[in-house]
């Protein structure tokens, strides 16, 4: 659902500076008009307020006391934390997050009404604070059963396995809720790549770790991935075989080879024991 005016609007800002990173924007984002034609917009990486010049940002930084996102820290393991932020309680912070995020997302209207969403923000810690890496938003009530509305890894941190961590975390929340979940459609091209990779990895992992045949239902119960997403993934990978009137999921050599490569990257994963969370009421 994209309004025509939004499609036709061209990219405005060129670059965002966040912490020590300067990144090029990809798409239009509705920052106030007085900021629209600046070559660089300077963002406080902790409170997400934005400034037209480095001097102004510096002045702000000397007064800003925030060292992590607002909200509750619901997960901490090694240097990775997740903060749960209620859009209604932290309107300004969440709106500013959406403005940043819109710079890298084109296929959705980002809701300026942040109230109906919770924001799950992932940070990495060093001696200066908890730096934002990415986040996903989630409707407080989703009649369609979506467990993610929007998901983003900040571009300076992409392709390092953080998107996978965000996705994994979203399914851990669904497991606690006792529900299956799926990301809101449509997915962007990058979103689809990220999700396909995750679904594939989880399904293959389960197939490898089960001696007996495993049913679609069992895969869904263990991963919180919906039947539809499991089926699509297996179909795309040609892992469905029709056998005696039913279908079975089986591993192919090509899929196994790909799985071996993924595993050899030795990327981080979420430690479910470090999640301290109850579904918000």
Catalytic residue positions? Answer: 184
What is the footprint of Zn ion within residues 18-57 (CB under 5 A)?
44, 46-47
The correct pick among 13, 41, 118, 148 for binding ligand ACO (CB under 6 A) is 148
Q: Does 17 bind Zn ion (CB under 5 A)?
A: no
The correct pick among 93, 162, 171, 199 for binding ligand ACO (CB under 6 A) is 162
156-190 b/e (C-beta count within 10 Å ≥ 16 → b): ebbeebbbbbbbbbbbbbbbeeeebbbbbeebbeb
* Residue 187 binds which of ligand ACO, Zn ion, none (CB < 5-8 A, kind-dependent): ligand ACO
Q: Does 202 bind ligand ACO (CB under 6 A)?
A: no
Residues with Cβ within 8 Å of 47's Cβ and at least 6 positions away in sequence, in order, are: 64, 66, 93, 96
Burial (CB count <10 Å: 0-12, 13-18, 19+), residue 6: middle
* Residue 207 binds which of ligand ACO, Zn ion, none (CB < 5-8 A, kind-dependent): none
Task: Please state, in angstroms and as integers, the Cα–Cα distance from residue 28 to each residue in 135, 167, 235, following that order.
Answer: 19, 25, 35
Q: Smallest gap, in angstroms, from Cβ of residue 259 to ligand ACO?
A: 11
Q: What would the two tokens of residue 2 be?
A: 């994209």
In the bound state with ligand ACO, the residue whose beta carbon lies nearer, of 87 and 183, is 183
Instruction: Taking the CA atoms of 133, 42, 46 and 277 in sequence, report the sign of the dihedral they define.
Output: negative
* Residue 265 binds which of ligand ACO, Zn ion, none (CB < 5-8 A, kind-dependent): ligand ACO
* Residue 105 binds which of Zn ion, ligand ACO, none (CB < 5-8 A, kind-dependent): ligand ACO
The count of chain residues that interact with ligand ACO, using the rule CB under 6 A, is 24
Q: Does 152 bind ligand ACO (CB under 6 A)?
A: yes
The correct pick among 72, 142, 158, 258 for binding ligand ACO (CB under 6 A) is 158
Q: Does 190 bind Zn ion (CB under 5 A)?
A: no
Cα–chain center distance at 242: 35
Site string for Zn ion, 210-239 (x = CB under 5 A): ------------------------------
What is the footprint of ligand ACO within residues 99-138 (CB under 6 A)?
104-105
The correct pick among 161, 176, 240, 277 for binding ligand ACO (CB under 6 A) is 161
Among the candidate windows 47-55, 115-123, 152-160, 244-252, which touches ligand ACO by CB under 6 A?
Answer: 152-160
Chain residues binding ligand ACO by CB under 6 A are: 104-105, 148, 150-153, 158-164, 183-184, 187-188, 190-191, 193-194, 197, 265
Positions touching Zn ion (CB under 5 A) are 44, 46-47, 64
């Amino acid at each position: 659902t994209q309004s025509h005016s939004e499609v036709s609007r061209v990219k405005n800002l060129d670059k965002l500076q966040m912490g020590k990173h300067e990144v090029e924007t990809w798409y239009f984002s509705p920052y106030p008009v007085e900021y629209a034609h600046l070559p660089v917009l300077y963002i406080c990486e902790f409170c997400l307020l934005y400034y037209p010049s480095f001097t102004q940002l510096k002045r702000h930084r000397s007064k800003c006391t925030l060292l992590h996102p607002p909200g509750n820290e619901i997960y901490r393991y090694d240097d990775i934390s997740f903060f749960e932020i209620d859009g209604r309680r932290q309107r300004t912070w969440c709106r500013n997050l959406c403005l940043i995020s819109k710079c890298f997302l084109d296929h959705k209207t980002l809701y300026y009404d942040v109230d109906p969403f919770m924001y799950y923000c992932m940070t990495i810690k060093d001696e200066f604070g908890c730096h934002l890496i990415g986040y996903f938003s989630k409707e407080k009530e989703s009649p369609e059963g979506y467990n993610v509305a929007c998901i983003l890894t900040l571009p300076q941190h992409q392709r390092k396995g953080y998107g996978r961590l965000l996705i994994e975390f979203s399914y851990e929340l669904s497991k606690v809720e006792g529900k299956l979940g799926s990301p809101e459609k449509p997915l962007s091209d990058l979103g689809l790549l990220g999700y396909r990779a995750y679904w594939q990895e989880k399904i293959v992992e389960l197939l490898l770790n089960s001696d007996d045949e495993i049913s679609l239902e069992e895969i869904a119960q263990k991963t919180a991935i919906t039947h539809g997403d499991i089926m699509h993934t297996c179909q795309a990978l040609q892992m469905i075989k029709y056998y005696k009137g039913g279908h079975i999921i089986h591993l192919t050599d090509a899929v196994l080879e790909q799985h071996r490569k993924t595993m050899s990257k030795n990327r981080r994963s979420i430690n479910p024991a470090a999640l301290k969370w109850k579904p918000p009421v």
